[in-house]
Structure 1
Amino acid sequence: MDLRQLTYLLEIAKQQNFTKAAENLHLTQPTLSKMVKGLEAELGVTLFDRSGKYVKLTDTGSVAIDQVQLIMQAVQNLYSAIEDASSLRTGTIHIGLPPVISSVFFPRVIAKFQKLYPHVKFQIMEEGAKKVEGLVLDGTLELGVVVTPVEPDAFDSIPFLNQKLALVLHRDHPLAGEAFVSLAQLCDEPFILFPNGYAVRKHVMRACRSLGFEPDVVYESSQWDLLAEMVAANLGITIMPDAICSKIVNPECRTLELTDPEIPWELVVISRKDKYQSFAMREFRTFVRGLAN
């Protein structure tokens, strides 16, 4: 039994006449009759009563036709759903964002994309960058936004944002009046950083160790605004991406350029190299590539 045969059954039930149905289906009447007999034999029931002037459905035929109509509607729904997905009228993208990135990435990218494709939904998971990489690699997430470097053999990556990390300190700090500060000048400062597993912290720790000192981390938080408030309370200094520093509005904080060394903060959108990409996902990747600065 196939969809073509089910279509034939519906036409016979509609016309109540084998000859008329055969004409509409561009078949010979004997061919159509033979097909119906074969289906009846396969199902072990009689579908049509052929004893009168008009062909009528038997009781079992009526039950069968009801189910055939449901099947054909389900098939139509399948094609419609595929068409919706391929034309980006619908779809869901599963994406991972580290919390420090989400406040930058969401308004710049996701919100703009959804204005173009309002029926494409996003399932967002907030995790540290390394966790996001792992979830993309094991297939839990389709996309992730992380800080470079990433493993080129495992991921396709699209550059999104290229900035530097900056210093945030209290306005009364002795260095607050400087135009820029070298990292070595901070060797004795109490640091307020993101927790382990966050790319920003990893880059800060690596840069400090390259200068021969281990930062004294006195507080940790995964929320950039809480880190800023702790700096405003004069509990220490922090180092954040420029894009995040621009969001700090507390007048107790000062943001300064960090030098010697500059610490890069490069965001990329990653996907697993060998994973199938949905229509929505491919369009989203193209959209991000167009926004990259």
Structure 2
Amino acid sequence: MELRHMKYFVEVVNLKSMTKAASKLFITQPTISNTIKLLEDELDVTLFHRFKNQIYLTDAGEAFFFQCKEMLKMYDNIPNDLSNLLEMKSGHLKIGIPTIINIRKLINLISQFHESYPNVTFQLFENGSKKIENDVYYGDLDMGITVLPTDTKIFSTFSFLEESLKLVVHKNHKLADKHMIDIEDLVNEEFILFNSDFYLNDKIINICRNHGFNPNVIFETTQWSFIGEMLLNNMGVCVLPEGILELLDSDLTAIDINEASMKWELALIWRKDTIVDSLTKNWIKFIQENVLLND
């Protein structure tokens, strides 16, 4: 079945006449008749009823007519759709973001981008950095935000944020009145952590071990809301990045930690060895320019 055969068929239906369709298309009527017969044989259906020199669509003909119109419309839109993609006017981006970050700035950037390119759509996937890196590697995400360091043999990176990590406790916790604590002050504390999909989990456990103890982890999760509720019930302590502190309930307090390695650096990552399309390139450029502009 060829595209021109569908065009012939649609023209016959629109004009309700093979003769008129042949005239409009500048072809012979036998060509039209043979095309209709060819389509009927290929589809193994009857497309038209014929009665007193008139033609009427069968049920199968109605269904085929609808499909032909849709396919021809899609074909006609190909040049415009490709132009929009090449000029970054349309497309879809899948971005992985850690559950643990304050996404207000990212949402603001997406909003600005959307104003200029309303036909570009986004999907945000919240996960731990390890899962995000894995999904970017296997192509399930176009890009992601992760904690550095990462494997620069695999990923291109754009570092955009470095933050201190703070101890967060309930205002009635015994450490709440301190302005700064040492890691050793946490030996007997119960820890609430993000799970092992998060590099922050590894970081906190390793820092504690470097200071001579294994943290007593009573709860692990992927959800910030669960951690927040447990802290509000004074069920333990948690280490969180500075940027998320503005989202904390007023009954929670943040304390500085006297440890040089208690910080993290975030970066946008994407695969090095794949062809990056125009939309992704321009989104990365937009992020780079606006993050630097707003610093």
Q: Into which bin does the TM-score normalised by the smaller protein fall?
A: 0.7 to 0.9
Q: CA deviation at 1:255?
A: 0.8
Change over 3 Å in CA distance of 1:247–1:70 after alignment to 2: closer
Q: CA deviation at 1:155?
A: 0.2
Deviation readout 1:15-43 (Å, 9 max, x if unpaired): xxxxxxxxxxxxxxxxxxxxxxxxxxxxx
Partner AA of 2:109 in structure 1? V
Q: Does 1:57 align with 2:28?
A: yes
Q: CA deviation at 1:123?
A: 2.3
Q: CA deviation at 1:217?
A: 0.6
**Matches of residues 89-238 of structure 1 in structure 2 within 5 Å?**
89-101=89-101, 103-104=103-104, 106-238=106-238
Change over 3 Å in CA distance of 1:222–1:83 after alignment to 2: same
Equivalent residue number for residue 258 of structure 1: 257
Deviation readout 1:169-190 (Å, 9 max, x if unpaired): 1212232222222222112111
Q: Match of 2:80, SS?
A: helix
Give the gaps of 5 or more residues in structure 1.
11-47, 50-54
> How high is the TM-score relative to the length of structure 2?
0.73
Q: Does 1:270 align with 2:263?
A: no
Q: CA deviation at 1:109?
A: 3.2
| Partner Cα distance (1:56, 1:223) in 2 | 66
Q: Match of 1:163, SS?
A: strand
| Partner Cα distance (2:276, 2:154) in 1 | 15
Number of positions where the alignment pairs a residue of Structure 1 with one of Structure 2: 247
Deviation readout 1:186-225 (Å, 9 max, x if unpaired): 1211111111111221211121112121110112222223
Q: Match of 1:101, SS?
A: coil
Q: Does 1:279 align with 2:278?
A: yes
Q: Match of 1:109, SS?
A: helix
Equivalent residue number for residue 82 of structure 1: 82
- 1:165, 1:242 within 8 Å by CA — same for their partners in 2? yes
| Partner Cα distance (1:108, 1:202) in 2 | 30
**Matches of residues 26-65 of structure 1 in structure 2 within 5 Å?**
57-61=28-32
Partner AA of 1:58 in structure 2? Q
- 1:94, 1:143 within 8 Å by CA — same for their partners in 2? yes
Deviation readout 1:81-109 (Å, 9 max, x if unpaired): 01111222210012222222373564243
Deviation >6 Å, runs of 4+? 62-66, 69-73
| Partner Cα distance (1:62, 1:100) in 2 | 66
Equivalent residue number for residue 246 of structure 1: 246
Change over 3 Å in CA distance of 1:169–1:153 after alignment to 2: same
> How high is the TM-score relative to the length of structure 1?
0.73
| Partner Cα distance (1:63, 1:124) in 2 | 52
Partner AA of 1:223 in structure 2? Q
RMSD: 3.2
Partner AA of 2:257 in structure 1? L
Q: Match of 1:141, SS?
A: coil
- 2:102, 2:244 within 8 Å by CA — same for their partners in 1? no
Structure having the higher Rg? 1
Q: Match of 2:101, SS?
A: helix
| Partner Cα distance (1:116, 1:63) in 2 | 50
Give the gaps of 5 or more residues in structure 2.
9-21, 37-64
- 1:168, 1:228 within 8 Å by CA — same for their partners in 2? no
